Amino acid sequence: MFEGVSVALVTPFKNNQLDEASLVRLVQFVLDQGVDGLVPTGCTGEAGALTLDERKRIWEICLREAKGRAFVVAGTGTNTTSSTIEVSRAAEQVGVDGCMLITPYYNKPSQEGVVAHYRAVADAVQRPIMVYNVPGRTGTNILPETVLQLAEHPRIVAIKEASGSVDQVTEILCGSDITVLSGDDSLTLPMLAAGAKGVVSVLGHLAGREIKAMGEAYHAGNVAEAAAIHRRLYPLTRSLFSETNPLPVKAVLAHLGVLENELRLPLVPAKEKTTKKVVAILEKANILTPLG
């Protein structure tokens, strides 16, 4: 479940308010690249700076615009189990296809605490759940043996793996049939080779079509073609993480006319030199042109 290329959506703001018109434009911009899914209100979507009402509105717009074209998995994780259940139940009521839960941050739970957290949320909702392992943001790495325990729950069906370790992905896949999705754009092809089923991508805002083509080439046995696409996208991938995500990708989307280059504090726009660098790499890749 949730296989293929999905995009970890940014959240458009204007004058510190949710910019609904730009969100519609962004969703269509991404869907026109042929991606399989949308994952709003995660880290890339500045979820920690959103109210619950704003999250609900984002989910409603994504569902309306993506109907029949892509699945919608809502980022519903917080740093406490009770509030994660509250947000996940709200997403379920809106009608999302699934919930993505980041490991509780700041608290730094033990592996036993991680298991208890995810199981409690999975017991409280009826939607399938995607675990999100991103130790660089949370301070806690979900170990492979912990993932195997989580996979025993019928509603925990996928994991977005952003530990940066292909070894960890391999260990998970050696002991479970849970759907593993790359959470690191630069490692998508190596993770596919290990048995991952797709990616939750930041790069997909700009290169969804190319990432899809890379996966299709790999699964068709055209490994050289897939590797060539991987290498062509690599400079753009790296540039998007030259500052804290989502600063660079928002700057480029603003350059393309999709949204305003606005974030919520404590995040501020990317440095001018970063924006120029990413735009130059994007133009050299000849992937997208600004909206008219």
CATH of residue 29's domain is 3.20.20.70
C-alpha–C-alpha distance, residues 69 and 63, integer Å: 10
Task: Say how many domains are in the chain.
Answer: 1
- Residue 49 located in a structural domain: yes
Just list the catalytic residues: 132, 160
pLDDT at 288: 59
C-beta atoms surrounding 221 within 10 Å? 9
Calpha distance 83→7 (Å, rounded): 24
Is the pLDDT assigned to residue 180 strictly greater than 80? yes
pLDDT greater than 60 at residue 18: yes
Looking at residue 285, its pLDDT comes to 82
| 16 burial via Cβ count (<10 Å: 0-12, 13-18, 19+) | exposed
For residue 105, tell me if it sits in a domain.
yes
Domain housing 117: 4-208
**Residue 199 marked in a binding site:** no
12 part of a folded domain:
yes
Cβ atoms 88, 125 nearer than 8 A: yes
Residue 286 lies in a domain: no
Mean local confidence (pLDDT), 253-262: 96
Asked whether residue 288 is assigned to any structural domain, the reply reads no
Q: What is the DSSP letter of 202?
A: S
| pLDDT at 108 exceeding the cut of 50 | yes
Please give the Cα distance from 145 to 64 (Å, whole number): 38
- Consult the annotation and say whether 200 binds a ligand: yes
Cα three-residue angle 143-148-150, rounded to 5 degrees: 95
What is the C-alpha separation between 56 and 232, in angstroms, rounded?
Answer: 37
Contact of 285 with 233, CB cutoff 8 Å: yes
Q: What is the DSSP letter of 265?
A: T
